[in-house]
Structure 1
């Protein structure tokens, strides 16, 4: 008996089809049943037959396989012999006449086979005997249309005569093919192409290294055809599969796919194939372009044979030409010669105006050798492609322009620009050295160019973190750069040079580096009216002193980010927003940059966008999300060798570890940052490490250690220029100084902050400044400042900072014997800390509450109904509701919270609506949590 020796691979996206086949072979229902699978070539019919063979064998069927073959269609009974061979031992048990008939069919008798009806009866008898002795029989026939004529007649007769007995037939044939099962009225089941989800899963499983963008291209071309999905990647090299190499306009076909899609194209008249080639290379489907390119008024008549063959159609609504299957385009390309393709590109180029991107690309594809004019056109196209957000396409275009460059200088310049964009945008850091070496071979004198210097500086900075060498290299190239360069567009390269210098200065963390950057921006501004560099310099490099004049413009630009396609510009605005507390407005745009990186696009920018989103997640208390975001970003850093950029992700994870009380992880991260950053002069990493260690010390109430760490970063009473990180630990230093009785230092620090008008930058900075000033007062509780900080509009957007302020206020109130008011703020702090998972801070708040003489309550774990109810409320609503639940009147609550009774009433109305309660007794039920 024929049966599968090995289980075939699990079929993806075929659960419905397999369930249908299982029902067909149900032993209680399958007697006399026949079923035909139909579908387009390569859709997976044979795979389903293989799966059915395994499943039916496991269910107790005796599986018999027949496969039609086009080369044996003229050989009589060739298919029938595939059925008889495994049943040969049972033939002698048949009546003598039937046994002789089957032996004749097998060619083992001198007699000639008798009439076909007798043969069909003998086969039926043999199958019935087999079923009686060994169980039900499943006859599976693949490629039914290619079964030889005599076998087809016998099998057709057999299928029509299945009335009784456990014999079941399953066949498969292409849609529209005539076969012995086509006209006998049996059930047909059309196998559909895979949906997009299953198609992506199939390609991902078989080709895991392929980038998402390439995978989507293949899925779109294959249209769910499993054979095409598995065959299309085969001709692609590793660079093309990972989108480091250019994909052709029409994907190449393997021999198996050619056999499916090229046959009908090859049968078309030459004029029709010529017209289809123009349509493939044009890609727009516009008939008027094809007609003009042909240069004949009746040229479109050549479409008729292709339309009749079902290869193309003209849409009635749009009037555009469409290929019914994308792989037909590939077949057209496969069947054309190189000269035919060059002719088509030249003809199409003539239909587009001078300066057109389409014209430039067609001329480049038609070129057979160096052509400086076309190379220059392609160079401009590369940067228009970059500004549309397709950095990978821009680099591919630059590399093609370098191939067409006649002079070594032009070739080297374009190779260097490709290296620069690769290092700074697409994540091709590992390819930078090879591109620069090729540029050096093309023009040994050109390695001092701005593009080459920027690429080399990026390699140094992101690889070994050599800040000083990268700084010297960039400054020298920027200061000697001639603008414009040979009349070609290099504004984007100048922008990348300054962006790289910006990161050099940030990670270097030294004022003299920033001053050199400021001087460069002042003297070497690129000729464009849309400069972001002065804005970035003010808001990111020196926010304490430079942000305020730019905030209105920054807000305006952020409001338009939803329309922005240039990932470099999105990243620049994200930097500007990072220290001015405007990252929430950049979230969607930054996520688009990240998605582009996931798809194999601008990976280097996606890494930076990930860490900007992580900054936002930390400030907004989305710490679990931060850990997910940084895990992906750090994985990219490791894959693409971005060692310095990874330090920001480690810093963010270190902050969360410190805040949550994971002292060992926080210490390990801080030590790693210092050990790698100090030998390289990376001052930012030293600040990162100090902030992690100080936060860990504050959580554990080790205020002396926290003060020592933060005091080493600056002088109290001074807010240094070009120290953006100084805005983050503002609350940390003030608390550490105040809790170690260094009130003068704390007051001086707050005074310097107010003098530089830092609170005007954002509500968060105003909130922490008020709180810091209140903390720095040694002799009394400044209720006004504490209450102003706690009541900051939108304070819930910064839960960790807000809870720390509530804790500080509650601590002072308790020590002043104002236990009732203290409990309100301490309880609010405790609830927030617990939701964040900030264990050491929760412990501090809980200790204070216990000292106030009340049982400590806490919220149930995240995801509970109680937590969901609490998160509906703003911080002030939550505090007012908790007091109201104890039975206090609005007037009493107002006195406790230093609010007006009218404000308390407004808060409670909002609470009642959000919690869907109608009484203060209902508040108790809605807010009560288990006592710890």
Structure 2
């Protein structure tokens, strides 16, 4: 703990998660840390989860942020808007949780700039999910900040997903039998040995259990029975203490426990509603069961709350909930308490929950909104009202990232709905879930049937687009595709863009890419992310890289402007692959780096795996072995990523390039065969490894590849094909080399042309035509160095020296491409700075805090040898129109 705080004071902040059973001492550790931090001049900011249920979305975040809001004016515009939406002080639509987390980080950094900061989140397992999702993004972003985060949690299964967000997880162990006996002897020396031994056995080394059992041993025996869990025995010990209170005090503590989230004023007002007074809590305060802290009543331990609430019968709980609902002014909390007091159905309360869920959803509290809509459905008297609210709950749950719960809600709603509008709403959620999670969903045939039942043409076409997307993703047979088109032809009119998208996705090879993108983007809705992804992948599969990049970039711009960061990350990741294939390696690497960082932040392991694989391929293309292997290791660390077919194939592709670069052509070909088992990348991967195939004598594979790409009109393949023929037909080699260079069509083929010129120069030097060889080799070297490819640059320079060029020992630095010295993240930030954006504007573009942007620029300026933004315009490699962002 001392080291954790010392590191934070030295601007090396991090997160620590303390895990342990109830009563094991988590709070004691936090109290000790708080005392040390205050002695060192830290500011403490604290929030806690509550175990009494009915959490309001972002409740814990509100509590944590309250002391920091004075720094809100320092935030970039998008981050400030996200914060205002959550706080209910702005009209903007809520941003993605990553933008909100950056706003919180910005507040923390601003506060920590003045004094070091200790953030404490008690009982993370009870924190509302919306707040917990934000907290999960903080620890790994505190690295350059004078701030530390300490959270506590019980060892619940669901908390394991949170552990990877923290740099350190510490599980607190129980006391040994000897240690426990020493504690009992110190605390209660008057106890007999048999009593002491009984307490030690019953406590199982739990410090809280030792303390509570010592206090109750004189009132009633403590049994060593194992029929109850330790938690249950502790709750019984607490209830034994509560039972000593007067009747009115017991009712008062029940109200305070159920209303744990309520203010002190609300609790006192509710006490009056049920005929009690504030004085009825005095006995509980004197017994140290509860105390007033910062305007709230706080119980001695969370188990005390769960024990009191669990011991109250329904009538007692209903009385309390009604009283709290009568005095609470917040609509969401009031509706929640009213709902808890209802037996059976109540449409009036259901409507209140409906409205509360809608408000929470608009603020971004999706998980809590889903819970309210689900409860509203339970309270609805008619089947259609139930199905409508279940449909809303399912979609809210999907957007919250809970696939299992979404599937359950969909199944429940499907069983009772009869409304065509609700059926389409359920089908939309079901289809989107099937596109992004392990959920089979409705079949293509079922979607076609639903489309035919729709009254409006556009509604029918929308459902048929979903069916068409399934055709592409699942590679449906011809008859299924034809049935989708027949259903579309049965309708007249409707959206031209939907028809165009539908036609492409049913059969991309026959129908080709659509030019209806501009109109499609004007009609965009929540399904557009999946459709844009499908269109981009289909264009990429057709080797139409220009169209594929248009779709990916359209997605990046659309989802950035609407704050849908998860969708934006997928588009950035997809674009990285296309840019690598198009020969813009540095831009592709920058996209992959950004996608990998954001995907990790958002806990999107498959997207992170895809981004890491693309990054490994890009680094391998540059000949940067160490960086490529680090990216491959990052992919291996992502759960489930290595079993995803596309990721496995691209990983093998990267390994093949690395093996070829090291001269191990047999290993390169072995990895190539793994990569080509995934058809969408087979042609490009094979083209990259032609030389290795030649070296190991696999001319059969080369002949098959030449036959396959001979039917395409892809200039890059023509360049590689010409070079391949030159390398396998020495008699006509020069003719093929010349045709290879001539086949190029624009800058996208520059790297392949450079490879051809390198091979051509090597051929000419062997033929002792050194003057001609120098021309080809110098042209190749120029391209390799301009693209920041040190491996191939070294090979070209060695050939030039062999051809008698004495000054061929330069390097990338000698070309003036200073931007090659920057990290991908520095390159993105510097390009935006060169275009005139301020630090805050850049922060909004690349999802960083403005202070982190400043740190990147400081390091980049030192590498570039400049001291101000105006000097960036003259540096090579930065005039890319921000394409890496």
TM-score (norm 2): 0.48
Normalised by the length of structure 1, the TM-score is 0.46
